[in-house]
Copies of this chain bind each other. A is one copy, B any other.
């Protein structure tokens, strides 16, 4: 059972510079990998918005106020996360062996935080696939539009908190993987 603070990417295939913004000089797949492997405290929304255009996911580290009274992690909408928080949900009571998710969103931005226990997240585009291990309330996984996600290996005590940039909209879900791949190829090509 891995301890706290070991969250991170377990498998990673470098992203090939997709994005609506111009690639910076020397912006190679290797460099993006380095960004992903080092957690960073995101203080404003601009920085992450720039980054998500390249890969549409981003690992975040939130500050923590810790003293003899315990720990508190504050998240300010449109500052600690790069969107207004229109919806919050949490997933718990997931039994061993269960895998859930299996969808992408067309527009929605989300940040996933495992506030108790641990869980693994698979994020996938037509070109890359990464497995991310979340086991620390300070760590967040930003997932932008058009990323396929699956959640699995929930510990018995896992609580996965999700902050979302919009209200529930059934039409924003893409639940068929083949359809997702088709739309995603078009989306990333247009925004290249």
* Chain A residues within CB distance 8 Å of chain B: 66, 68-77, 79, 84-95, 98, 100, 115-116, 137, 154, 157, 159, 161, 163, 167-168
The 6 closest A-B pairs by CB, nearest first: A70-B94, A116-B116, A74-B89, A71-B93, A85-B85, A69-B100
Main secondary structure on chain A at its contact with chain B?
strand
A157 to B116 CA separation, bound complex (whole angstroms): 8
**Copies per complex?**
2
Residues of B within 8 A of A84 (CB): 84
Q: Give, as a whole number of angstroms, the nearest-CB distance from A39 to chain B.
A: 18
Smallest CB separation, A91 vs chain B (Å): 5
Chain B positions within 8 Å of A154 at CB level: 70
Q: A128 to B91: give the CA distance in the assembly, Å.
A: 35
Given known contacts A72-B89, A77-B86, A85-B88, what 7 new A-B pairs fall within 8 Å (CB)? A66-B93, A70-B94, A74-B87, A76-B167, A85-B85, A116-B159, A157-B157
Contacts of A85 in B (CB 8 A): 77, 85-86, 88
